Amino acid sequence: MAPNEAGAATRERILAAALNLGGREGLGALTTRRVAAEAGVNLGLLHYHFASKEALVRETLQTFVEELMASVAAASQANPGASPEAMLVEIFVLALDRVMARPGLAFGLIGQLISIMATASGPGSNGAVEDTLAKHESLGFLLKAQAFLVQRMKSLLAPSLGGDEALLSRKSLQLFTSLFHPLLFTPFPLMIYGLDLGTPEGRRVYVEGVVADALKP
Q: Say yes or no: domain 54-214 is CATH 1.10.357.
A: yes
Taking the chain (217 residues) in runs of 10, the rounded mean pLDDT of each run is 73 96 94 96 94 92 88 78 90 86 87 71 57 58 73 90 92 83 68 76 90 89
Q: Which CATH number fits domain 1-51: 3.40.50.970, 3.40.109.10, 1.10.10.60, 1.10.490.20?
A: 1.10.10.60
Q: In sequence order, what DSSP letters do the residues of 162-188 get, joined into one string?
A: -S-HHHHHHHHHHHHHHHHHHHHTTTH
pLDDT of residue 149: 78
Q: Give the Cα separation of 202 and 207 in Å (integer).
A: 9
Same fold, 1-51 and 54-214: no
Are 9 and 1 in contact, with CB atoms under 8 Å apart? yes
Q: Is residue 148 helix, strand or coil? A: helix
Question: What's the pLDDT score for residue 216?
Answer: 87
> Which residues neighbour 74 within 8 Å (Cβ) at sequence distance 6 or greater?
94
Backbone φ/ψ region at 194: left (φ over 0), alpha (ψ -120 to 50), beta: left
Domain boundaries, the chain: 1-51, 54-214
